[in-house]
Amino acid sequence: MADRKRFDPSASPRHRKQRVKNWAMFAILIGLVGLFFVLSIVRMGGAGS
């Protein structure tokens, strides 16, 4: 248990690439959720006018 920061198996290029893909997918999903939320608010707000 000398220094765990030196040996990080998740620091391999393959793991880093997968982590980037995961964050990109997360951003896309959050963007879609936000888009659907805004569209639903606009549609409900426009129905009363």
At residue 45, the pLDDT reads 86
Q: Phi, psi (5° rounding) for residue 48?
A: -80, -15
At residue 37, the pLDDT reads 95
Amino acid at 22: N
Q: The pTM is what?
A: 0.65
| Helix, strand, coil percentages for the chain (3-state, nearest 5) | 80, 0, 20
Contact 26, 20 (CB under 8 A): no
Tens-level pLDDT at each residue, the chain (49 residues): 555 566 666 679 999 999 999 999 999 999 999 999 999 999 998 655 5
At residue 8, the pLDDT reads 67
